[in-house]
Amino acid sequence: MERVIFNEDHHAFRASAKEYCDRSLVPRMEQFLEEKTIDRGAWLEAGKQGFLGLDVPEEYGGSSVGDYRFNAVFAEEVSKVSASLSSCFGIHFDCAAPYLVDLGTEEQKQRWLPKFCSGEYVAAIGMTEPSGGSDLAALKTSAKKVDNGWVVNGSKTFITNGDMADLVIVAARTDPAKGAKGITLFVVEEGMDGFARGRKLDKVGQTESGTSELFFEDVFVPDGNVLGEVDRGFIHMMERLAQERVGAAVSNIAQATQILDETIDYVKQRKAFGQPVGSFQYNKFVIAELVTKAEVTQAYVDNAIVAHDEDRLSAVDAAKVKWWSAQVQNEILDACVQLHGGYGYMNEYRVARAWRDARVTKIWAGSNEIMKELIGRDLGL
């Protein structure tokens, strides 16, 4: 079915995003896979094209388009290339940007945002800890007040862009007695004494993304790097999770649809018993179901995109679209592997890599189980 949420400006922007992907990302995928990271050149080119500052006001180097549909378009085009690349860019331009723009002081925005938009600075978000993932209120990383700043101790794990981030938005406990109401956000910068990166984590999928552990040992963070209000970090995080989750949904269905399209082309060409495998009734029915399921999910995600753009996407609705899109994505990709037969299990085929890459989407940005818990609570259960 035709998608109706985009206008001519969005279509023109999509053409530019696709050109960037074809020129700067696709030819270098093997390099990214080998190095397990996106090199700085790709970031700088994205910044030059204006893709990293979509949520940033013009006075700080961004474009401040004020239309979330442009974020969705860029995320979709990158997701068609690789879910890994989409997660790396998404954390930066779609997740970190609202924290810096909404919560940053004038001095902070002038200091960080121009290089954030140009790709000279890469951002990461340090929330998840080794002792717990989805339970953000149980943070153990601490920050103690000292003269002119704070001393941060602790560690984070599974941090996308952690291997190269220049700015890390770190959630730390500043008042243990207050529980969730005693958490503050800090911007830890590359080069601060005591801030160290651990190994690049050896993941099942998303090999191109540099996912790392981060360690903070008596890191002095000046008062000028407190982001938002002291002890309101948990609220700041909750207020911005809807965008992270709808962004995840956008990427989920875009990646699945792209691989499904490639699979349809494959089963038209691949022959068994003297005929294309796609012509067998069972396979034909499977593909018909997959296409329908993808289009239904796309319509649901599009509705969430518009709702978020109009500032009416609730946390519960964001949870719904996040878990559903992740579930459908994984169902589609598993079926695509099956339709490829033995070749679907070979790393040289995109479908195999996409299948591995997608598995984490049911875990991150709040696991699907946590999403259902939120939905159930909202229903009074």
Measured N-to-C along each axis, helices 233-269 and 68-81 cross at an angle, to the nearest 10 degrees, of 50
Mean pLDDT per block of 10 residues along the chain (381 residues) reads 95 98 96 92 97 97 93 98 97 97 98 98 95 75 98 97 97 93 97 95 93 97 98 95 96 98 97 95 98 98 98 97 98 98 95 98 94 97 96
Q: Please report where in the chains the tokens 């530019």 appear, as a residue.
A: 16
Q: What is the pTM of this model?
A: 0.95
What confidence score (pLDDT) does residue 131 get?
79
SS3 120: coil
- Of 242, 257, 378, nearest to 322 by C-alpha is 242
pLDDT at 133: 62
Q: What is the reported pLDDT for 315?
A: 95
If you ran DSSP here, which 8-state letter would residue 187 be given?
E
Contact 76, 5 (CB under 8 A): no
Rounded to 5 degrees, φ, ψ at 221 are: -115, 115
Tell me what pLDDT residue 216 has: 98
Please give the backbone phi and psi of residue 371, each rounded to the nearest 5 degrees, phi first: -60, -45
Q: Degrees (nearest 5) of the Cα angle 40, 42, 46? A: 115
Neighbours of 94 (CB within 10 A): 25
Strand spans (E) along 72-136: 123-126
Query: What are the residues facing 113 on neighbouring strands?
Result: none
Q: Cα–Cα distance between 331 and 173 in angstroms, integer?
A: 39
pLDDT of 71 reads 98
SS3 of residue 5 by DSSP: coil
- In order of their start, the domains of the chain are 8-121 (1.10.540.10), 125-230 (2.40.110.10), 234-379 (1.20.140.10)
8 A C-beta contact, residue 122 and residue 47: no
Q: How does DSSP classify residue 132?
A: B
Cβ-count burial 122-138 (b if 16+ within 10 Å, e if not):
bbbbbbbbeeebbebee
Task: Kindly give the pairing relationship between strand 167-173 and strand 211-222.
Answer: unpaired
What is the reported pLDDT for 307?
98
Active-site annotation, residues: 244
Q: How far is 197 from 69, CA to CA, in rounded Å?
A: 34
